[in-house]
Every structure is written in structure tokens, then in C-alpha cells.
Structure 1
Amino acid sequence: MGESRRPTEVAWVFRPDLSQRRTQPLHALVGKPVYGVGAPGDDGRVEIVLQDGTRVRATPGEVVAE
């Protein structure tokens, strides 16, 4: 009947696990939009490219939909 169907927008953002690593450089990257994610390496980590061009290695679970 009167249902509104608006499209859902989802963005991928970087949410690093700050408990496992030296956190100082990562705090500035929390919540940054993700541009791309590479294939997992031998260690299970992926290269993440943020929209500003920053590259980090992280687990796939550190890229979340928001």
C-alpha cells in the first residue's frame, strides 16, 4: 500500500582492530572509506586502499559495511 522503497546505500569503511597492533598510526584511519581490497596473502591479510590513496595491510574483517 503506502510503502516507501528507498534505495539502500552501503559504504565500505576501515575499522582496524586496535587491540592487536601499535595503534597510533591507525587511529587516524578509523572509519575512512575504502576504495579497494586486494586478494588475501599467505598470512590471510589483504591490502586495503583507502579513498585518499593510503594503503594498509589488514584482515578482511577490518573492512565493514556501514
Structure 2
Amino acid sequence: MSAQTKFVIGGVVVGFLTLFIFPWWLTALIILGVLGTPLVGYLMLDPSQRKRVRAQGRKRLGS
């Protein structure tokens, strides 16, 4: 099992645990914040910076 898969499984477990601890709307805000933060960071990059990020991701796929 890869490290990324372990992180995803851990995130899902934490998400379900927060459903039992906090109200549903607060859990939804937490999950949206966790998912939305990297997206907003990526969208704030210049087009040339986005191109570099995509190229770096493709370079890692071959390793």
C-alpha cells in the first residue's frame, strides 16, 4: 500500500470521526477547507508557475 493511499484512508477515517464529534455543518466546512486550500493555492499561481508544477508532476510519474 502506497503512502498516498494511507493518507487518503486516514483522512476518510478522520472525516467520519468528526461527524460524530462536531455538528454536520462544521464537519462539512472542515472538509471543504481541507480540499479547497490546495486548489486555491494552485489557482493563485501565474500560468508559467502552473506549467512548472504540471511538468514536475509528469517528471515524477516516470520515476
TM-score between both structures, scaled by the size of structure 2: 0.24
Q: Which has the higher helix share?
A: 2
Flag the structure with more relative contact order, 1 or 2, with Cα contacts below 8 A and sequence separation at least 6: 1
TM-score between both structures, scaled by the size of structure 1: 0.24
Q: Which has the higher strand share?
A: 1
